[in-house]
Amino acid sequence: MFGWTGTILRVDLTKGKVSREATDPQLARDYLGARGLGGHIVRSEVDPKTDALGADNKIVFAPGPLTGTFAPSAGRFDVVTKGPLNGVLAASNSGGTFGPELKYAGYDALIIEGKSAKPVYLWIKDDEVEIRDAAALWGHTTPDATDLVRAETDEDAKVSCIGPAGEHLSPISNIMNEMHRAAGRTGVGAVMGSKNIKAVAVLGSGAVKVADPEGFKAAVMKARQMIQAHPVGGSGLKAYGTDVLVNILNQTGALPTRNFQDGYFPTADKTGGESLAAKQLIRPKGCFSCIISCGRVTKVDSPDYKGIGEGPEYETAWAFGADCGIDDLDAITKANFLCNEYGMDTISLGSTIACAMELFERGIITTKDTDGVQLTFGNTAAMVEMVEKAGRGEGFGAKLAQGSYRLADSYGHPEYSMTCKKQEMPAYDPRGVQGIGLNYATGNRGGCHVRGYTIAIEVLQNGAVMDPHVTDDKAGLGVTFQDLTAALDSSGACLFATFGIGGAELTEMLAALTGVDYTLDEFMRIGERIWNQERLWNLEAGFTSADDTLPRRLLTEPIKTGPSKGHISHLDDMLPEYYQLRGWDEKGVPGKAKLKELTLN
C-alpha cells in the first residue's frame, strides 16, 4: 500500500496481549484514515450503548494517509472512542509529531481495548511493543510524565499522555502529546484513565511510501505556494496566532460574553492576538511539516502568574476571558498552562467556570458551594483558583471537572449550561453568526466549530462572502463544510491548510500519494460517508432530532450590545432544509437510499 502502512496494532490491556492485523485496502480507500477509519473501527467493534468508562469501550489512535509526509501541515491524527462527556462517537483531532511517529513505526491505527489491573504505559518502537508498569507515573502532570517516560524509553520518543484530570475520570479531560498539543473535547483523556493507561510512547524508523513521487512533489509544492500566498495561512496566523480572532469576532458582535449573556466585550482587545504578540510571545511554533506556525510559545512575567509554555489559542483566550468577564491576559495564559499540565479541555472548563459564575450571581449557588470563593464575573483570581481545583479534582473543582451541563443540572438549572448535546460551545455566538449555530446544533460531537467551520465564509470571507446575520443558503454551506472537514480530518491534513487550498488540492495530493484515482467528488463523498457514519452511531446511542438544538437563551434572548444587538439564532429556519439536503427524513434519520448511495448499513 502507498500512503498507508498496511498494518493495524491492537493492544488488549486486560489480557496483556499485543497483536497485528492487515489494514483493509477497501476500508482505507473509503474512509482514508484518522477520524474516518478510526470511526469505522469503533462503530464496528463497540456497542453505542456501552459505558464510555467501562472496559468494553475502545480507544483508537489513527493518523491519516497524508500524515508524516511533507504535504503542508500534515501532522494530524485522531483519537476515536465513545466520549464520556455525552456518549457520542468522539474523534479528537490533534497535531504535533505523535501522529507521524506512529506512522513511521508502521501503523495505520493503534487500537487499545480492555482494562489493565494496574497503571501502565505503552512503549512502541517499530515492531517492538511493550506494556510497561506506570505506577511511578500516576499522579504526575503531563510535562513531568512525558519527561519520565522519555527517560525510561528514548529521549526522541513522542509521548501522548493524560494528566491528573484524566486519572480522575473528568469527562472534560484531554490527552496531551508533546506536553502542549491536545486531543481534546468529549473527555477522551478519561477513557485512558478508565483503562489505567497513563501514556503511549512511540518511536519509528520507517517512512511513508509514495505511489507517484514526482506527481506528489508537484502537488505538494503547488499547495504550499497557495497557502503561503494567502493572507491568513501565509502570514496572519504566524504573526498573531488564532487569538487574532478575538477582535475580529468582537467587531462582528459574536464574541460570547459572560456565559453567552451578550455577544460583545468592550475590553476584548486586551486579550487578543495583537496584545499577546506584544506582551507575551517568545516565538511562533508549528506542528509537523507546518508552514503556517499558528502555535504560540509564550512567557508570563507577572509574579502572580509567572510561567513559560504554549498558548493560548483563540478558544482558550475567549473561554477564560470574555466568557468569564475577564480581560487579564496574564491570568488567561496561566489558566491555559494549568490546563495543559492537568490535561483539561480549555473550552469546556472555561465555559463551565463561566456557567458557575452566572449560577453564583443569580444566587443559585453561594460561597458555601464554592469553597468560600466569590465566584463572580471578572474575578480573575477566582478563575485561576478554580482551574487549579478542577485539575486536581478538589472541592468545588470536582464539580467543575464534570462540565457545565452536569454542574448546572445538579443545581436544578441546566438552562445555564451553554452546550449542544451536553458539550460546551466554542467562541462564536450563533446569534451573531447564523451558520455556525446550525453547525453546532447538528454537530456529531456536540458544540464544535472545527467540524464545519462556516466562520471562514461568514466572518473571514475566505473565498466567498456571506452575511453572518442571514439564514439564506446556510444549510447548504453547513453541509458542504461538514463533509469537507470530515474528509480533511481523515486525510491527516490540518484544517488551517484550507486558508489557501481546498478539496481539489487535497484530492490531488492524495491521489499522487496513494495511487488511488481519487476525484474531488469522491473526496467529498468520503466526507459525507464519515458524517453519516457518525450520525448513525449517535442515533443508535439514543440521540434524536430533539438533540439538534441550541440553548434556549440563543433562540429567545437577543444579543444586548454591539454590532449584532437585537439578533437571535434562527435555527428553526435552517434545520428542515439541512435535513433535506442531507437526504434524511424530517426526524433527522438517514434514508435507505442515502445509506445505499454511501455504502453504509
DSSP secondary structure of 149-171:
HHHHS-TT-EEEE--HHHHTT-T
What is the DSSP secondary-structure string of 326-390?
---HHHHHHHHHHHHHHTB-HHHHHHHHHHHHHHHHTTSS-TTTTTT----TT-HHHHHHHHHHH
CATH number at residue 401: 1.10.569.10
pLDDT at 529: 98
Spatial CA neighbour of 37 closest among 435, 389, 409, 490:
490
How many other C-beta atoms lie within 10 A of the C-beta of residue 373?
A: 19
| 259, part of any domain | no
In the block, cell 445555564 appears at 416
- Which stretches of the chain drop beneath a pLDDT of 70? none
DSSP 8-state assignment for residue 310: E
Cis peptide before 312 (omega within 30 of 0): yes
Does 342 share its domain with 461?
Answer: no
Instruction: Confirm whether 394 is domain-assigned.
Output: yes
- Alpha carbon distances (Å) from 199 to 89, 102, 171, 174, 195: 22, 14, 18, 12, 11
Number of domains in the chain: 3
Residues near 403 by beta carbon (within 8 Å), at least 6 away in sequence = 85, 171, 172, 348, 352, 417, 419, 422, 423, 424
174 to each of 23, 250, 529, how far by Cα in Å?
28, 28, 27
Cβ proximity of 183 and 61 under 8 Å: no
**Which residues touch 196 (CB under 8 Å, ≥6 apart)?**
13, 115, 116, 117, 118, 119, 120, 134
517 shares a domain with 584: yes
163 assigned to some structural domain: yes
C-alpha cell at 587: 426526524
- By the 10 Å C-beta count (0-12 exposed, 13-18 middle, 19+ buried), 11 is classed as buried
Q: Which three cell numbers stand for residue 80?
A: 476515536
Same domain as 463, residue 378? no
* 580: containing domain: 434-549+570-597
How far is residue 264's CA from residue 322's CA, in Å, rounded to a whole number? 8
pLDDT given at position 274: 95
The predicted pLDDT at position 463 comes to 83
CATH of the domain at 511: 1.10.599.10
8 Å CB contact between 182 and 174: yes
Residue-level pLDDT at 601: 72
DSSP-derived secondary structure letter, 143? H
Whether 320 is covered by a domain: the verdict is: yes
Q: Which three cell numbers stand for residue 127?
A: 515492531
- Specify whether 388 is located in the same domain as 502: no
Domain match, 467 and 377 both? no
CA-CA distance, 592 to 584, in Å (whole number)?
9
d(CA 477, CA 452): 9
Mark which of 183, 203, 223 sits at the end of a domain. 203
Listed residue (503, 513, 502, 492) closest to 95, CA to CA: 492
Of 179, 203, 227, the last residue of a domain is 203
Which three-class secondary structure state does DSSP give residue 271?
helix
23 and 78 fall within a common domain? yes
> Does residue 451 sit in helix, strand or coil?
coil
Cβ neighbour number for residue 541 with a 10 Å cutoff: 17
pTM value?
0.97
Q: Residue 250 domain-assigned? A: no
Per-residue model confidence (pLDDT) at position 336: 97
306 and 453 both lie in a single domain: no
Type of residue found at 211: A
Indicate which CATH number applies to the domain containing 11: 3.60.9.10
Residues 534 and 469 grouped into a single domain: yes
Residue with cell 477497501: 26
- Cα angle at 462 between 459 and 463, to 5 degrees? 130
Length of the chain: 601
Residue 270 makes CB contacts below 8 A (sequence gap 6+) with: 327, 328, 329
**Domain stop point among 421, 443, 478:** 421
Task: List the grid coordinates of 213.
Answer: 513521487
Residue the block writes with cell 510524565: 145
